[in-house]
Amino acid sequence: MSIISVNLQEGFGNRCSQYAFARAYSEKHGCTLQTNFWMGQKVFQIDDPRIEKPLPVRRMEDIDRWNGEVDIEVSGWGQHQRCLIYSRADARRYFTFRPEIISMLVNVPKYDIAAHLRWADFLSIPDAGFIAISKESYLIACDHFGIDRSKLRFIQEESPLVVPQIEPGYWISPHSDHHTRSDDPRITSLGFLPDFYALMQADILFRANSTFSLWAAILGHHSRIFSPNLNGIKKRSGFQEVPFFEGNHCAITSDANYHTELNLRET
């Protein structure tokens, strides 16, 4: 059988985007999917074989140029509209929690309104020009959309939620063995999961410019979702005021070469 391989990189949300594209493409063309180890294999009911050998590399964002090829490695962020070759229903099928994980998450609090703050690495690497959205931006958005700001619960990795069954998470170096970026199959820490699950379970979600909450929005069942609109926002260090739109479609960065608005079909 032909092969599609993907070397998943960076954090949990980015890897979900890359995996969803590679999984959808491999299913469409009847291929075996091969991946490196990633934390999703501990969390979801997936167990793809490891990458066996190097293959010709194709960028996900360039799928219009090579669509139909097999025995290739797909590479990229998977966050361009052209990469959405799967539906929300497909994504939920790919990312079904393992029963033992669900049992660990029963004590995660369910909030009426949750907001994801992505600050730590955005502020600690000023030269990268990430957009760190101010807390006030979320409160202004609550007022604009008629949401009770007093019920808003902020979730951020600097002060993660803790449940008894899961080792606490915390923001640490990408090289740490506990970080979601690691490719070491011996890793057991799932400290990021309570935050992710709380974002998934909230009735109303204010997403950050982060794939972490982008995927919480895709996999959850929210009554309303709001996401930051980065159009016209210039990259600079420090906190910035950013407007919000209703929906989960806004791009997570203003880099239009690889990231666009993501209008994911339901089925």
> Nearest 5 degrees, angle CA 199-CA 236-CA 259?
55
CA atoms of 267 and 261, how far apart (whole Å): 18
**What DSSP assignment string belongs to 10-79?**
SSHHHHHHHHHHHHHHHHHTT-EEEE---THHHHBS--PPBP-S---EEEGGGHHHHTT--SEEEES---
DSSP state of 150: G
pTM confidence score: 0.92
How is 47-62 classified by DSSP, letter by letter?
-PPBP-S---EEEGGG
- The per-residue pLDDT for 260 is 93
Please give the Cα distance from 4 to 24 (Å, whole number).
10
Q: Which two tokens stand for residue 93?
A: 């099928």
pLDDT in tens, 154-212: 999 888 888 887 876 544 444 454 456 666 655 557 888 999 999 999 999 999 999 99
Could you read off the pLDDT of 214-260 as tens digits, one per residue? 999 999 999 999 999 998 887 777 789 999 999 999 998 877 778 89
Per-residue pLDDT at 174: 45
SS3 127: helix
What is the reported pLDDT for 191? 85
Q: How far apart are the first and last CA of the chain?
A: 27
Retrieve residue 7's tokens: 């070397």
What pLDDT does residue 218 have? Answer: 98
Residue type, 62: D
Query: What digits encode the pLDDT tens for the residues 2-23?
Result: 999 999 998 899 999 999 999 9
Predicted pLDDT of residue 172: 44
Distance CA 219, CA 21 (A): 15
